[in-house]
Amino acid sequence: MTAPRFAIAISRFNPEVTGGLLAGALAEFAEHGAPVEDADIFEAPGAFELPLIAQALARTGRYAGVACLGCVIKGDTAHFEFISAGAAWGLVSASLATETPIAFGVLTTYTDEQAQARSRDDAGNKGREAAAACVETAASLRRIARQQSN
């Protein structure tokens, strides 16, 4: 049996943070025996565009799951709330519509320092957490499918 294949959708906005999230996600997928190739990493302009890209990737049928990585840092306007809510709702909607794990690795922080802390390559790296959630959910769905066929 071949290892499941996963994709990563990553926002180009806040690259100093998303780069750390990507490193964490890649390490986590590799540790689970499902390394992600460069060809399976897709960029989005920002977090708001992640749901559409994730849904398109899930609909290809090539991927057992998609980890979405991004960072939205609160500013002085309501923009933060709209982008954060839109990304979260969109990723949930895409996951349910495609019945594919789409993991939420989008940081929504109040400060750049909080974002940096959550993107470091250690136990608190949210990219790692998103990749782990994606792998675990895909495994649960495979188990459910096996039970249904018995």
pLDDT of 13-69, one tens digit each?
999 999 999 999 999 999 999 999 999 999 999 999 999 999 999 999 999 999 999
32 a catalytic residue: no
Q: Number of H helices and number of E strands within the chain?
A: 5, 4
Q: How far is CA 116 from the centre of its chain?
A: 17
Note the pLDDT tens digit of each residue in 112-141.
999 999 999 777 899 999 999 999 999 999
CATH class of the region 6-149: alpha beta
Name the residue among 49, 62, 70 with its Cα closest to residue 100: 62
3-state secondary structure (DSSP) of residue 46:
coil
From 79, 92, 112, 124, active-site residue: 79
What does residue 17 show for φ and ψ, rounded to 5 degrees? -95, -45
Residue with tokens 């959910």: 137
Please state the pTM of the whole predicted model: 0.96
Give the separation between CA 50 and CA 39, rounded to whole angstroms.
Answer: 17
